[in-house]
Amino acid sequence: MSEFEKIKQGDDSFVAHTYGRFPVAIKEGKGAVCRDFDGKEYVDFSSGIGVNSLGFCDEGWIRAVIEQLGTLQHISNLYYTEPCVSAAKLLCERTGMKKVFFSNSGAESNEGAIKCARKYSYDQYGEGRNKVVTLVNSFHGRTVTTLAATGQEVFHRYFYPFTEGFVFVPANDLSALEQALDGSVCAVMMELIQGEGGVMPLEAEFVQKAADLCKEKDVLLIVDEVQTGVGRTGKLFAFQHFGIEPDIVTTAKGIGGGLPLGCVLFGEKTESVFGPGDHATTFGGNPVATKGAEYILHKLDDEFLSQVTEKGEYMRQRIEKMPHVQGIDGMGLMLGVRLEEGMKSADVVKLGIEKGVLLLTAKAKVRLLPPLAVTYEEIDRGLDAMEAALKEV
Ligand SMILES: *Cc1c(COP(=O)(O)O)cnc(C)c1O
């Protein structure tokens, strides 16, 4: 039995079948290239779904993480530690946000944001002003509350009763949003580019007017940057493209660089909403995960971020000329490739694996989230494989 067959059999026997997996087991990686157990190489245009910001096994990140592992791996939030302070300080300085709560995932970050919004409103206005408006086609996570917050009917099954108090309005529909803000709403939560929903960027005018409307009505604006954050769109956070000041920003995926880490960033209105005992998580602010985050944040300086934009532009120009491609949505290194009517993005992803590139789907689009540190050589190699897949599909 091959190494792959052994792993697959073990997985089938002992790991809960909550994921459909491709018939590949990845053994190791370096930069944007990884290898399976037969030695076949793949250019990773998925970053482990937006996680490996610096690619596989970045030397500097490894050094930072390993040094911390050998110093203090965990002590709990009952004590002060240094790495989470450094990471939080960098996040605040680079965004204008005021405080950071560290969590372990995107869903958990969004849970924290929703709790904060409800408490803010309770403190200011008392009971009853607790609804959260999110957008149709959004994705906010897999906990019972974040599923309820997710604006896609397919996620609202089986797990009843869901958390109450979520209202959905279509993206880019300002009058629907205005109507929804009827005095019972404490927050509006949105992704600025809907990721899982199909790499759907919001219109700048809608985002800015929504932000104004929220400010006017003292409704908190929560921006879910779990996928768009940490350099993905060519700025540290996507909201920085829009000239808005969110009250809460959530992130995860790319801030961890491969370790589980999430953050809730609080602005002026929200920085003191949670007091001791109001919110917590045992692993939150873990020294190893936050040491890695600190390293990533140092790496993502203005020069690095402008490279993200340039690489994204380069990829677009090449992809536009490929067969079956109708257009490309997204920003920076978050790209959604529109295919000809009737084509299935999953077929392209499957063929991509054969040709040596790891791609993602987002609804009908082929989604690319390459590591931010991807080189032009790796880009060309991955795009050659993608083009080969598109020619054959
Ligand atoms: C991935 C994602 C989440 C959920 O993050 P998890 O770490 O899987 O809990 C939430 N919101 C957005 C926009 C995401 O892309």
> CA-CA distances (angstroms) from residue 289 to 100, 158, 188, 253, 259?
14, 34, 29, 12, 6
Q: Which ligand 1 atom is nearest residue 110's CA?
A: 10
Distance, CA 48 to ligand 1 centroid (Å)? Answer: 13
With CA atoms as reference, report the closest residue to 137 among 193, 54, 59, 184: 193
Across the chain, what does the average pLDDT equal? 98
Query: Taking the CB of residue 323, how many other CB atoms lie within 10 A of it?
Result: 12
Residue nearest to ligand 1 atom 8, measured at CA? 106
Distance, CA 235 to ligand 1 centroid (Å)? Answer: 19
Predicted confidence (pLDDT) per residue in 202-254, tens digit: 999 999 999 999 999 999 999 999 999 999 999 999 999 999 999 999 999 99
Low-confidence stretches of the chain (pLDDT < 50) are: none
User: The pTM is what?
Assistant: 0.98
Question: Which amino acid, 300?
Answer: L
- Give, as one character, the DSSP assignment of residue 259: B
Q: Which ligand 1 atom is nearest residue 253's CA?
A: 7
Q: Which ligand 1 atom is nearest residue 138's CA?
A: 13
Q: According to the model, what pLDDT value does residue 388 have?
A: 98
Q: According to the model, what pLDDT value does residue 215 have?
A: 98
Q: According to the model, what pLDDT value does residue 374 have?
A: 98
Distance, CA 200 to ligand 1 centroid (Å)? Answer: 15
Interatomic CA distance for residues 23 and 215, integer angstroms:
49
With CA atoms as reference, report the closest residue to 203 among 150, 271, 139, 135: 135
Distance, CA 254 to ligand 1 centroid (Å)? Answer: 11
Q: What residues form DSSP beta bridges with 44? A: 358
Handedness of CA 221, 336, 255, 111 (dihedral sign): positive
Q: What is the DSSP string of 39-100?
A: --EEEESSHHHHT-TT-BS-HHHHHHHHHHHTT-S---TTS--SHHHHHHHHHHHHH---EE
Q: According to the model, what pLDDT value does residue 257 have?
A: 97
Tell me which of 51, 139, 248 to substitute to probe ligand 1's pocket, judged by most ligand atoms within 8 Å of the beta carbon.
Answer: 139
Distance, CA 39 to ligand 1 centroid (Å)? Answer: 31
Q: According to the model, what pLDDT value does residue 143 have?
A: 98
Show the ligand 1 pocket: residues with CB < 6 angstroms: 105-107, 110, 139-141, 191, 195-196, 224, 226-227, 252-253
